[in-house]
Each structure stands twice: as structure tokens, then as C-alpha cells.
Amino acid sequence: MGKSVAPRRTRLSPIERRDALLSAADALFRSQPYDEISMGDIARAAGVSHGLVYHYFPNKRAVRTANFEREAKRLEAALAPNNALEPQERSWAAIDNFVRYAETNTEGLVETARADSVTDPELKALADRVRGSVIDGIVAELGLRTASPVLRLSLVAWFASAERAAIEWVAGVGVERDVLVRLLVLSLRSALADALSIAPEDDLEPVMRQLIFGDIEARYGGDDTGAS
């Protein structure tokens, strides 16, 4: 009877190996207090040696930061506008993608939303970068090179509420998915309209009417959008 041959382990590329280490660490960070996790725990969870973990990351803080940055990039990608769509469809598609991200990466969204409460300045900076990227994307969709302080502050407030609403929705609040998407689009419209009423920007209103008001009228009918 011949000897059994152990299955050969698939050799991962450096990028794949780093991502696998982050995935193993991410599972630990979600299930255990951060302060109780060691680099050895991460190595054991990933099924690799301690030395291999240190080859990619100098310490646990670097692992946590890299994992947070990975989640931040996923969130940025989810909210990136699809330029292949018609302008009036982009905001709906981006928010639909944001809700899909919340469905599949709830813990990552929670981490981003809670970044302001952590003491690590690097994580706070990453969270600020994500929010800034989201706001810049919305401003670009409106056809503006820059946004007034009032408009930007209004959009910051909207995104914070959108994060919270998505987290609550995933937890189960008895609201249908398409209702959440519509609510977030309508609240974005309201945030833009409120900012305009305080600090009008002549080149914003026509674009906003096309992207937000016209699309809502086309989907739901009626004249409740405030457009005339």
C-alpha cells in the first residue's frame, strides 16, 4: 500500500499573504478586546509563523492600522460614482452601493463610524480621509470644483447620519432596503437644499435639480420635491 501524500499548500503572493494576515487579524479584532490580542494570536489565527507576521507588520498597531485602511478603501470604492451611468442615476447607484457595503461589511462600517472615539491619531486621520473622499465625490458630482464651508458641513452631517442609519438598519429596524435607499437619497437632497437656503451657490442649483429633484420626480411622481 503506497504512502499517502499530504496536499501541497498553495503558495500565496506577497499581496495575497498580507491580505490573508489582515483577514485573520480582522476576525480577532471583531471577537476579542484589542488589548488582549498579541502578534502570536494573529500568527496562530492565520496558520503561519510569528516571523512571517513580523515580516509584513512591525507590530500589532501596524496590523490594526492596515486593516482599518483596507476597510476604508472598500467604503470609498462603494461610494465612488459610476460614470457609465446617466448623471441623475449616479447618486442613487452610489447610495445603493453604500447600503450593499453596509450589508456585507457591517463591522467595517462600525469601525469607521467609531474612529473618532479611539485614541490612535492615525486611525482618526484615516477616518477623516474617508469622509473627506466621500464629500469630495459628492461635490464633484454636483459639478463644483470646491464647496462652500456651509455646503461641506451640511454634507459631513449627512454622511454621519447615513452611517448611523445604515448600521441601525442592518441591526434590524423593520424597514425595507429600498426604503432605506430612498430615505438616504431624500435626506441628501434635503441637506443640499438646506445648505443652499443658507449660502446660495448659483452654479449648484441647476445641477442639484437634475441629479436629485428630477430623479425623484421620475421615480415617484408628484411635486413634493420642492422644485418648480
CATH of the domain at 35: 1.10.10.60
Asked if the structure places residue 2 within a domain, the reply is: no
Asked if the structure places residue 226 within a domain, the reply is: no
CA distance 46 to 52: 10
Are residues 38 and 136 both part of a single domain? Answer: no
5-14, 53-62, 70-79, 126-135: which has the highest mean pLDDT?
53-62
Are residues 173 and 207 both part of a single domain? Answer: yes
148-161 per-position pLDDT tens digit: 899 899 999 999 89
Angle at 111 between CA 132 and CA 108, to 5 degrees: 90
Are residues 119 and 197 both part of a single domain? Answer: yes
pLDDT value at position 225? Answer: 42
Three cell numbers at 23? 483577514
**In the block, residue with C-alpha cell 448623471:** 87
Are residues 29 and 116 both part of a single domain? Answer: no
pLDDT tier at 3 (50, 70, 90 boundaries)? low
CA distance 60 to 57: 7
Are residues 106 and 212 both part of a single domain? Answer: yes
CA distance 103 to 166: 8
Asked if the structure places residue 228 within a domain, the reply is: no
CA distance 170 to 135: 23
Count of structural domains within the chain:
2
Q: What letter would DSSP give residue 3?
A: P
pTM over 0.85: no
Are residues 191 and 88 both part of a single domain? Answer: yes
| Full residue range of the structural domain in which residue 20 is found | 11-58
81-131 per-position pLDDT tens digit: 777 877 667 778 888 988 998 888 777 777 777 666 566 787 788 888 888
